[in-house]
């Protein structure tokens, strides 16, 4: 483990900040060409543990995460004049990319002899942690912002038997509280500040390369607490260092207009200023003070990428578009990657003909209420005798 600020190295242990300077920690490998045999790995089925040699944990708990579909989206791609793929992380066992982090993170909790896991969450992290803790026979306590979590996610945390603590305040407040109660001794913190989480999530980068057999020009994804963008970047960098990939993609992060501290920093070339009152319909990324902002901005700068924000209206429009053009139903936060793609094409930041992978991070069924609210005027209420006429007008 190495601190991204002071560079101090630490042996593997249940810590998530540098004991010397409080900086973020990263798991570092010394990699050189030939250290990982992709051809051999490909003999195993496509899922996260295909890359076990590059994951610093033993598989103690798994629900067969990863191996998610990479769809070529020809209908939408033709319209936008780009070669578009969607990596649908909503196809993971609990319906989001968090499962990749949790199979590794909870396996690590077991390795460290922990009995209780915890996290603060806008919903998906808590759903995933609750499931993996149940399967690993660990107790789990999750902190959620009161009233601002999609119902599907709340249902998951409850049914998997986590203790659900609803905090008055937003995600940032819940995260402050969880930092206070996690001590590394008894209670193991599994927010994405935990560097082992990111070791699981980096496999999104591995899989994209593995499936395409080359590196795309650009990867676009929603940014919330800012762990995933740096995790995926780490995956692409490791394949590059191993000599498997010849290129690296431009990492492009999307925040919502009501909570965009990293976009502000990127666009204004200013220091990082948290957003006090984050607001967006995409509750998964309703985060004003993303804990891994520094890792995220590093990924964007190092990869020559971009940060953009999108409005709630643009998010809902993109959610509908992806569903109706490609048959892929994703939650609002995930649709922000498509909304961001459209905006960056309009602005001329993305070139026509680029090959792009949008990551759709969570399943649409997580948040049915938002969809029904936005589409309910499309329902046709009819009596039996009206039906024939209605069908003729289709």
Which residues contribute to the site for ligand F0G (CB under 6 A)?
Answer: 96, 121-125, 192, 222-228, 284-285, 331, 333-334, 361-362
Query: Is residue 332 within 8 Å of 313, Cβ to Cβ?
Result: no
| Of residues 36 and 195, the one with the C-beta less far from ligand F0G | 195
CA distance 94 to 10: 32
Of 216 and 362, which has the nearer Cβ to ligand F0G? 362
Q: Toward ligand F0G, which CB reaches closer, 61 or 102? A: 102
Least distance (Å) from ligand F0G to the CB of residue 123?
5
Q: Walk across the sheet containing 163-167 and list its strands.
A: 163-167, 139-145, 116-120, 187-189
- Tell me whether residue 242 or residue 309 sits nearer to ligand F0G (CB atom): 309
Q: How far is the CB of 270 from ligand F0G (least distance, A)?
A: 21
Secondary element (H or E) of residue 187: strand 187-189
Query: Considering the complex, what minimum distance in angstroms separates the CB of residue 202 from ligand F0G?
Result: 12
Least distance (Å) between residue 222 CB and ligand F0G: 4
- Angstrom distance (rounded) from CA 178 to CA 295: 21
User: 83 phi and psi, to 5 degrees?
Assistant: -90, 105
Shortest gap between Cβ of 125 and ligand F0G (angstroms)?
3
> Minimum Å distance from CB 293 to ligand F0G?
10
CA-atom Rg of the chain in angstroms? 21
CB of 331 to ligand F0G, least distance (A): 5
Q: In the complex, what is the shortest distance from the CB of residue 168 to ligand F0G, in angstroms, rounded to a whole number?
A: 17
- How is 204-235 classified by DSSP, letter by letter? HHHHHHHHHSS--SEEEEE-SSS-HHHHHHHH
Pairing of strands 306-310, 163-167: unpaired
8 A C-beta contact, residue 138 and residue 353: no
Q: Rounded to a whole number, what is the largest CA-CA distance in the chain?
A: 76
Q: Which is nearer to ligand F0G, 189 or 333 (CB)?
A: 333
Q: Which residue in this structure is represented by tokens 């483990």?
A: 1
Q: Give one word for 348, left, alpha or beta, with left for phi > 0 and alpha for psi -120 to 50.
A: left
Closer Cβ to ligand F0G, 77 or 224, answer by number = 224
**Six token digits for residue 244:** 């498997």
Q: Closest distance between ligand F0G and the C-beta of residue 101, in Å?
A: 9
Distance between CA atoms of residues 110 and 119, nearest Å: 16
Q: Which is nearer to ligand F0G, 36 or 306 (CB)?
A: 306
Residue 289 near residue 172, CB atoms below 8 Å:
yes
Q: Say if residue 7 is exposed, middle or buried (CB neighbours under 10 Å; 0-12, 13-18, 19+).
A: exposed
Residues 230 and 296 sit within 8 Å (Cβ to Cβ): yes
Q: How far apart are the first and last CA of the chain?
A: 61
Nearer to ligand F0G, 123 or 278 (CB): 123
Closer residue to ligand F0G (CB): 125 or 252: 125
- Which CB sits closer to ligand F0G, 285 or 338? 285
Task: For residue 288, give both structure tokens.
Answer: 């004003």
Report the nearest approach of ligand F0G to the CB of residue 322 (Å). 14
């Amino acid at each position: 483990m190495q601190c991204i600020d002071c560079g101090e190295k630490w042996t593997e242990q249940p810590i998530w900040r540098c004991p010397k300077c409080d900086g973020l920690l990263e798991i570092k490998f010394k990699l050189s060409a030939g250290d990982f045999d992709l051809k051999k790995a490909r003999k195993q089925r496509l899922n996260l543990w295909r890359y076990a040699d590059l994951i610093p944990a033993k598989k103690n708990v798994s629900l067969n995460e990863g191996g998610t579909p990479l769809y070529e989206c020809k209908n939408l791609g033709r319209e936008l004049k780009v070669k578009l793929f969607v990596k649908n992380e909503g196809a993971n066992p609990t319906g989001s990319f968090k499962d990749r982090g949790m199979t590794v993170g909870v396996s690590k909790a077991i390795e460290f002899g922990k009995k209780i896991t915890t996290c603060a969450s806008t919903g998906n992290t808590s759903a995933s942690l609750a499931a993996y803790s149940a399967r690993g026979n660990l107790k789990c306590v999750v902190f959620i912002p009161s009233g601002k979590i999609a119902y599907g996610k709340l249902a998951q945390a409850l049914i998997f038997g986590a203790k659900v603590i609803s905090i008055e305040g937003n995600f940032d407040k819940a995260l402050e509280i969880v930092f206070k109660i996690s001590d590394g001794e008894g209670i193991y913190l599994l927010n994405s500040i935990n560097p082992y989480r990111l070791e699981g999530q980096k496999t999104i980068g591995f899989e994209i390369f593995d499936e395409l057999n080359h590196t795309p020009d650009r990867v676009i994804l929603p940014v919330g607490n800012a762990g995933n963008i740096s995790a995926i970047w780490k995956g692409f960098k490791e394949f590059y260092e191993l000599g498997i990939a010849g290129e690296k993609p431009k990492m492009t992060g999307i925040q919502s207009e009501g909570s965009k501290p990293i976009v502000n920093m990127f666009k204004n070339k200013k220091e990082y200023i948290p957003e006090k009152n984050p607001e967006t319909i995409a509750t998964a990324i309703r985060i004003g003070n993303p804990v891994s902002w520094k890792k995220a901005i590093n990924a964007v700068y190092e990869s020559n990428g971009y940060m953009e924000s999108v409005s709630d209206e643009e998010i809902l429009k993109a959610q509908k578009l992806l569903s109706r053009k490609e048959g892929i139903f994703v939650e609002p936060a995930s649709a922000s990657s498509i909304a961001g793609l459209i905006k960056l094409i309009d602005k001329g930041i993305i070139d026509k003909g680029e090959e792009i992978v949008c990551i759709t991070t969570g399943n649409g069924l997580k948040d049915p209420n938002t969809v029904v609210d936005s589409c309910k005027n499309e329902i046709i209420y009819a009596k039996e005798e009206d039906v024939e006429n209605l069908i003729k007008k289709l």
